[in-house]
Amino acid sequence: MRKFRQDAMRSFGSFGITFIWVTVGSWLIFMILLPQLIMLDFSFRPFLPLRKIGGPEDIYTLKNYIVLFTNEFHRAIFIKTIWTSVLVTTVALFVCYPIAFYLAKVARGARFAWILMGLIIPYWINELLRIFAWQLILADAGVLNKLLLAIDIISNPINFRAGNSAVIMGMVYAYILFMVFPLYNAIESLDRNQIDAARDLGSSWLRIHRRIVIPYAKPGIAVGCIMTFMLAAGSIAAPQLLGSPSSFWFSQVIYTNFECANWNQGAAYAMVLAGLCLIFIFAMLKIFKVDLKELAK
Amino acid sequence: MDQYVGQDIEIVDVGMRYEGSEEYAVSDINVYIKPGEFFSFLGPSGCGKTTLLRLVSGFLEPTKGKVLIGGENMRGIGPNKRPTAMIFQNLALFPLMTVAENIGFGLEVRGVSRADRRKKAAELLELVDLPGVENKKVSDLSGGQMQRVAIARGLAVEPSVLLLDEPLSALDLKLRQHMRTELRNIQKRTGVTFIYITHDQGEALTMSDRIGVMSDSGTIEQIAAADELYNEPETVFVADFVGENNRFISTVRTANNGYAVVETSFGQQLTGINPQQLSSGQQAIAFVRPEAISVLEDSKAGENIIKCKVKSISFEGAFVTIFLDIGGNQAFFMRRHNNGSTPFPEIDSEIDICFGAHNTRLLGTGTK
Ligand SMILES: Nc1ncnc2c1ncn2[C@@H]1O[C@H](COP(=O)(O)OP(=O)(O)O)[C@@H](O)[C@H]1O
Ligand SMILES: [Mg+2]
């Protein structure tokens, strides 16, 4: 730490360091901490007409939080959001693990570069556009239905948007990198000889993954799951564009509340979502027996 | 240790070219390794030793030729199905498992029960002289202990052949020397065939029943027991690589009865053994071991005598190395015991040195 300070001193000078502290500090305080605190404050106040704000009725209350339990409709959406996000995370893990393993331990040279480009280039366009593309693919008269019809696998177009399948597919695709990279990172550092040694001792590939690769990749799996889950649970574009019009995502409920000027309710739900993500993080760390310290690597 | 059965290995005309590579990494390999033999491949780094070992273990399939273990052709049989176990250069112990789990891994694969695995692990730890560490984490072991655990893990699957890829190179000198004896003992106790590869001739010479010396081109130069390799090198490469040697570039003048007379590039005539039956006019290199040279006391017939000047003396305790000047850039040195009483020659003094014709080996540069 002292060395770090000396190095910083040498390259920026004391004025420069003060400048960095002040800018980073105020950015943290005004752009992150303060808005969150204001939201927290909002979430504990009742929704009142403008003239009554600051009046005798403006007292702290848990009402906005209790609504989640009394409003059956919101509660169902909340549970569905959690459940579907878990599903998205699980599917993403199963899809991305082979990709990450292939990239980290099998692919070489040109093939590695091609796959990497295939993964990264779609991220050069906006998330919204990527999800629009899926809308085109999954629509009743979309590419996928046309293809399936043409090769006679189905006789009537499938309505992907009816259930959650379109949302899940869209999200898995939209967040694939957030799962692939932590996994790749973890697996890449695994010594190739460990795999060879297990194989030499007679192990099948399945067991090599179960006993050698996956235990080693645990921190990466935890990070990938956390990122994907948080992105999925907080997602708004994918459910809006790919979900059936009659089913909502929890983030859409929050959005609607803010839109209807009920900031207090919106803030409370936003806090619930944030709390959910925190619980998920700790659950993952517990399940995978990973230290917070290891995640920093 | 009657559960172990060493098997023989036959490597027939094996050549290996990596995908996308123009040249063969190893080629023309022909070796028969006896059951229960301790066989070493010795060669400089990059000569294809690891490649050869991976061909035997099944991680690579030869481009040409075949590998037979116990008389059975191994083509198409994967590393998980061969009766071999490999000790990796970096050991490749599983860091997230305990010592017992590491040793038991191969048995777990074979469906052996947990209790039996533990029993076997304890037995093997006994065998490698490291009892009682079953529950330790791998990272808590010292380098030498890890070494033993890796060997125990390999032996757990009762292989017929143990393949060792420079397993001692990471240890410090003292431990390395101790592990040499230890490895040899384990091999004797089990009777498993050991194939050991190393670039360290000390290791190869002290441990092995026989040694195959490989050159940079990925071919075998000579297969012989340690003493034979040292005393009767068959090629220039082996004479240069194994032990220390003085070498004189020369031309054959006359040859008869297994001996020949050559003239060195600085005009000196030398008589030596001519194992390759070189004939008059051919290029040869005359090799003389530094310990075969002595200071001339009484002139003896038939011996090679060279006049030289003492350049410097290097004292090494039990030995003394004397560097000699015989004109030109020719490097030349002799080595003798330090018996504590015979005085060393003085620097810059002129002396006559001599060495026997039977200690002088003439090897052709053109032929292998
Ligand atoms: N996977 C590989 N692909 C291409 N060439 C390789 C590969 N592994 C080794 N080689 C080449 O084969 C030769 C022999 O290597 P190796 O068997 O590792 O030698 P050693 O173990 O004796 O040091 C080297 O020239 C090396 O560059
Ligand atoms: Mg090697």
Tens place of pLDDT for every residue, chain A, 297 residues?
Answer: 677 777 777 777 788 888 888 999 999 998 889 988 998 988 888 888 878 887 788 888 888 888 888 988 989 999 999 999 999 999 999 999 999 999 999 988 889 999 999 989 888 888 888 888 888 888 888 888 888 888 888 888 888 877 788 888 889 988 999 999 999 999 999 999 999 999 999 999 999 999 999 999 999 999 999 999 999 999 888 888 888 777 788 988 889 888 888 888 889 999 999 999 999 999 998 888 887 776 665
Query: pLDDT tens digits, residue range B148-193?
Result: 999 999 999 999 999 999 988 878 888 888 889 989 998 999 999 9
Please say if the pLDDT value at position B2 is more than 70.
no
The secondary structure element, H or E, covering residue A112 is helix A109-120
How many CB pairs lie under 8 A apart between chains A and B?
A: 59
What average pLDDT does range B335-356 have in this prediction?
87
From ligand 2's centre to the CA of B271, what distance in Å? 40
The secondary structure element, H or E, covering residue B5 is none
Interchain CB contact of A207 with B (< 8 Å): yes
| Residue to mutate, B16, B17, B18, ligand 1, most ligand atoms under 8 Å from C-beta | B18
Please say if the pLDDT value at position B367 is more than 60.
no
What average pLDDT does range B113-119 have in this prediction?
94
Average pLDDT, chain B: 91
Encoded amino acid at B278, one letter: L
Please say if the pLDDT value at position B368 is more than 60.
no
* Residue among A197, A203, A211 whose CB faces B92 most closely: A197
| Cβ-based contacts of A204 with chain B (< 8 Å) | 80, 109
pLDDT at B300: 59
| Residue to mutate, B23, B27, B40, B50, ligand 1, most ligand atoms under 8 Å from C-beta | B50
What residues contact residue B344 under an 8 Å CB cut-off, 6+ apart? Answer: B313, B320, B322
Instruction: List residues of B whose CB lies inside 8 A of any A CB.
Output: 57, 59, 78-81, 84-86, 88-90, 92-94, 96, 105-106, 108-110, 153-154, 156-157
Encoded amino acid at A215, one letter: P
What residues contact residue A291 under an 8 Å CB cut-off, 6+ apart? Answer: A285
Query: pLDDT tens digits, residue range B43-77?
Result: 999 999 999 999 999 999 999 999 999 999 999 99
| Cβ-based contacts of A199 with chain B (< 8 Å) | 59, 78-80
pLDDT at B344: 84
Nearest CA in chain B to A202: B80
What average pLDDT does range B5-12 have in this prediction?
92
| Cβ-based contacts of B81 with chain A (< 8 Å) | 202
User: Testing the interface with A: which of B53, B55, B96, B97 to mutate, by most A Cβ within 10 A?
Assistant: B96
More confident residue, A260 or B79: B79
| Residue to mutate, B24, B27, B51, B200, ligand 1, most ligand atoms under 8 Å from C-beta | B51
pLDDT at B154: 93
b/e burial code for range A170-206 (CB count within 10 A of at least 16 → b): bbbbbbbbbbbbbbbbbbeebbebbbbbbbbbbbeee
Q: Where are the domains of chain A?
A: 67-296
Q: Which residues, listed in sequence order, are joined to residue B162 by a DSSP beta bridge? A: B85, B194
Cβ of B131 closer than 6 Å to ligand 1, yes or no, is no
DSSP designation for A32? I
pLDDT band of residue B138 (cuts 50, 70, 90) is very high
User: Testing the interface with B: which of A201, A204, A207 to mutate, by most B Cβ within 10 A?
Assistant: A201
- The SS3 assignment for B280 reads coil
CATH of domain A67-296: 1.10.3720.10
Please say if the pLDDT value at position B134 is more than 70.
yes
How many whole angstroms separate alpha carbon B143 and alpha carbon B282? 51
Q: Find where tokens 């907080």 sit.
A: A234
ipTM value: 0.83
DSSP designation for A121? G
Rounded to a whole number, what is the distance in angstroms from the first to the last CA of chain B? 43
Encoded amino acid at B274, one letter: N
Nearest Cα of chain B lies from the Cα of A121 at a distance, in angstroms, of: 29
Nearest Cα of chain A lies from the Cα of B151 at a distance, in angstroms, of: 12
Query: pLDDT tens digits, residue range B205-237?
Result: 999 999 999 999 999 999 999 999 999 999 999
Give yes or no for a contact between B47 and B32, defined as CB atoms under 8 angstroms apart.
no
